[in-house]
Copies of this chain bind each other. A is one copy, B any other.
């Protein structure tokens, strides 16, 4: 019930009152409205450990010794308190709660440089936030390129007990998909900044729930003969054991650093019922396409020949795959869990056929009975050209030819703290980033004619409570006949997905094709090769919010922007988010 309370309170009048209150009052609201609401108190230590997720031994960034980290299990309306201790030796840290809107707690979003200073080694930082929507969410490191070092996990927020969901199932399981390199994230990042540019290459493995199987015969390391060992139990395939006849809800999330994926369970249909915390008008797929930052719930019925096991597979799409199929076992009880299925695992749909991927995107609509209609019109349109750039040998990604850089002082503190407000121009670039690009003349089907780029940490300051339309426009990269899929993730909001198209978006014609009837709400959406994607959101969550390509290297190379809205309604900032850049002197212990 908290969700409705909060939504009601977003009418402007009561808003000021609502958001200037402290978290204690949020607690109060929850406990008064819903006696079952709980506070879930978690203590996490993050450190490096040697692990062999795909049989190859490597340092992995773990939470309490695990990667993926523990799944946060909660019920709608709960407060989550995560005490994160940085047990790394010399590296800082920040953790983002992906899909949690952080209403009333914008400082808990975990975006280093945007909402907080990084957590230094030895420090403990407390993330405190409400999970106000049921659904499937995730968490991951949000600092440098640490996400691909293994700090990731899932958040299951269940419906309040006694309130039935619009579909039924017998069991509920998580499957987190990631891609995995044998080189460190530091090597990956340094290569991206090097001259000449050094690409770390395609991932060595795809991991299903943290497990993959690299072909150790490709490794020859006389100095460390045990570096790859296919007999290690931690790289035996992930097994999902099912009872014949039962129905399973699989909560599938992707936190790949680079790869767009297809996912299939041999011989079984999957019925898509939820994405990013919102119910989908259900439809069946054999292959689920999933992009980094997305979650899907699918229902799978164990209705096949129970005398054998089946492959669950994941494959790269949208980039020419050099990574073997990721494998897990869909195990019919009581067959032995690791009994190899008698078939050859599929290599998935054609990597370069974007038609079925576009079709899946367009098939996703809000479920009848759960439609939250969007505002009929918007107050502002921002068109974002997705481009790749080349500046004297360095490669960048940009939107509207602006490549994003993070400031050393988090925007949220810079904007809120009176002492800093006179110095904003010193903390980040003045002025507004461009709302569009030369859409009439720009040729999206060829590499950019002018590949040079501007660097900026300027932000979009949105008028509070207005409705914003964003059109993501894809284009050719620096390579001829190439356009990459970019999954864009918005912090602090869900947005309505109004439409997808091929080619260049025409702001005069294409809005007429928008789906204003039953658009799905999501927090992450792909823009397909040479295509466009249109989304709408209400700028009604006071705070400062990243919107960025969820491919880790693309964001590192500048593919992101930042929105500010209603920062004047943000409550007193906890000083725990301060301590870096210009915020050093602001902490009052």
A residues adjacent to B (C-beta < 8 A) = 48-50, 59, 89-93, 117-118, 120-123, 143-146, 182, 184, 186-187, 189-191, 194, 198, 201, 204, 218, 220-223, 408, 419, 575, 578-582, 584-585, 587-589
Instruction: Known contacts A50-B190, A118-B120; decide if A146 and B584 are in contact (CB<8 Å).
Output: no
* A222 to B217 alpha-carbon distance, docked (Å): 11
Q: How far is the CB of A121 from chain B (nearest CB, A)?
A: 7
* A89 to B90 alpha-carbon distance, docked (Å): 11
- The answer to whether A581 touches B89, judged by C-beta atoms less than 8 angstroms apart, is no
- The answer to whether A89 touches B222, judged by C-beta atoms less than 8 angstroms apart, is no
- The answer to whether A123 touches B90, judged by C-beta atoms less than 8 angstroms apart, is no
Nearest CB to that of A406 among chain B residues?
Answer: B122
- The answer to whether B223 touches A220, judged by C-beta atoms less than 8 angstroms apart, is no
* A204 to B182 alpha-carbon distance, docked (Å): 20
Q: How far is the CB of A258 from chain B (nearest CB, A)?
A: 16
Write 5 A-B pairs (CB below 8 A) sorted by A numbering.
A59-B187, A90-B93, A120-B580, A579-B579, A579-B584
- The answer to whether B220 touches A123, judged by C-beta atoms less than 8 angstroms apart, is no
8 shortest interchain CB distances as A-B pairs: A585-B589, A122-B408, A90-B144, A89-B144, A220-B220, A585-B587, A584-B587, A90-B91
Q: How far is the CB of A47 from chain B (nearest CB, A)?
A: 8
List the B side residues contacting A223 at CB < 8 Å. 182, 201, 204, 218
Nearest CB to that of A120 among chain B residues?
Answer: B580
List the B side residues contacting A118 at CB < 8 Å. 90, 120-121
List the B side residues contacting A218 at CB < 8 Å. 222-223
List the B side residues contacting A122 at CB < 8 Å. 408, 580-581
* A190 to B204 alpha-carbon distance, docked (Å): 23
Instruction: Known contacts A144-B90, A222-B220; decide if A59 and B186 are in contact (CB<8 Å).
Output: yes
List the B side residues contacting A584 at CB < 8 Å. 575, 578-579, 587, 589
List the B side residues contacting A182 at CB < 8 Å. 223
Q: How far is the CB of A183 from chain B (nearest CB, A)?
A: 9
* A93 to B120 alpha-carbon distance, docked (Å): 11
Determine which of B89, B191, B578, B579 lies in contact with A50 in the assembled complex, contact meaning CB atoms within 8 Å. B191
List the B side residues contacting A580 at CB < 8 Å. 120, 122-123, 579
Instruction: Known contacts A89-B145, A223-B201, A223-B218; decide if A123 and B581 are in contact (CB<8 Å).
Output: yes
* A90 to B419 alpha-carbon distance, docked (Å): 27
Q: How far is the CB of A321 from chain B (nearest CB, A)?
A: 16
Q: How far is the CB of A390 from chain B (nearest CB, A)?
A: 20
List the B side residues contacting A121 at CB < 8 Å. 92, 118, 144, 408
* A589 to B581 alpha-carbon distance, docked (Å): 11
List the B side residues contacting A91 at CB < 8 Å. 90-92
Q: How far is the CB of A297 from chain B (nearest CB, A)?
A: 33
Determine which of B143, B201, B582, B588 lies in contact with A90 in the assembled complex, contact meaning CB atoms within 8 Å. B143
List the B side residues contacting A189 at CB < 8 Å. 89
Q: How far is the CB of A196 from chain B (nearest CB, A)?
A: 11
* A506 to B90 alpha-carbon distance, docked (Å): 41
Q: How far is the CB of A246 from chain B (nearest CB, A)?
A: 40
12 extra interchain contacts, Cβ-Cβ under 8 A, other than A579-B579, A585-B589? A49-B190, A50-B191, A89-B144, A92-B120, A92-B121, A118-B121, A182-B223, A184-B184, A220-B221, A419-B589, A575-B584, A584-B587
Q: How far is the CB of A142 from chain B (nearest CB, A)?
A: 11
Q: How far is the CB of A289 from chain B (nearest CB, A)?
A: 28
- The answer to whether B49 touches A89, judged by C-beta atoms less than 8 angstroms apart, is no
- The answer to whether A186 touches B89, judged by C-beta atoms less than 8 angstroms apart, is yes
Nearest CB to that of A420 among chain B residues?
Answer: B589
* A143 to B580 alpha-carbon distance, docked (Å): 18
Q: How far is the CB of A323 from chain B (nearest CB, A)?
A: 12
Nearest CB to that of A86 among chain B residues?
Answer: B408
* A117 to B577 alpha-carbon distance, docked (Å): 17
Nearest CB to that of A90 among chain B residues?
Answer: B144
* A48 to B146 alpha-carbon distance, docked (Å): 15
Determine which of B90, B92, B186, B589 lies in contact with A48 in the assembled complex, contact meaning CB atoms within 8 Å. B186
List the B side residues contacting A220 at CB < 8 Å. 220-222
Nearest CB to that of A94 among chain B residues?
Answer: B90
List the B side residues contacting A587 at CB < 8 Å. 584-585, 587
- The answer to whether B59 touches A190, judged by C-beta atoms less than 8 angstroms apart, is yes
* A201 to B226 alpha-carbon distance, docked (Å): 14
List the B side residues contacting A59 at CB < 8 Å. 184, 186-187, 190
Q: How far is the CB of A337 from chain B (nearest CB, A)?
A: 28
- The answer to whether B90 touches A146, judged by C-beta atoms less than 8 angstroms apart, is yes
* A239 to B120 alpha-carbon distance, docked (Å): 42
Q: How far is the CB of A409 from chain B (nearest CB, A)?
A: 9
* A500 to B571 alpha-carbon distance, docked (Å): 65
Q: How far is the CB of A272 from chain B (nearest CB, A)?
A: 36
- The answer to whether B585 touches A575, judged by C-beta atoms less than 8 angstroms apart, is yes
* A579 to B582 alpha-carbon distance, docked (Å): 12
List the B side residues contacting A123 at CB < 8 Å. 408, 580-581
* A218 to B143 alpha-carbon distance, docked (Å): 36
* A92 to B89 alpha-carbon distance, docked (Å): 9
List the B side residues contacting A93 at CB < 8 Å. 90
Determine which of B201, B582, B588 lies in contact with A585 in the assembled complex, contact meaning CB atoms within 8 Å. B588
List the B side residues contacting A585 at CB < 8 Å. 575, 587-589
List the B side residues contacting A191 at CB < 8 Å. 50
- The answer to whether B194 touches A50, judged by C-beta atoms less than 8 angstroms apart, is yes
* A589 to B117 alpha-carbon distance, docked (Å): 17
* A23 to B588 alpha-carbon distance, docked (Å): 28
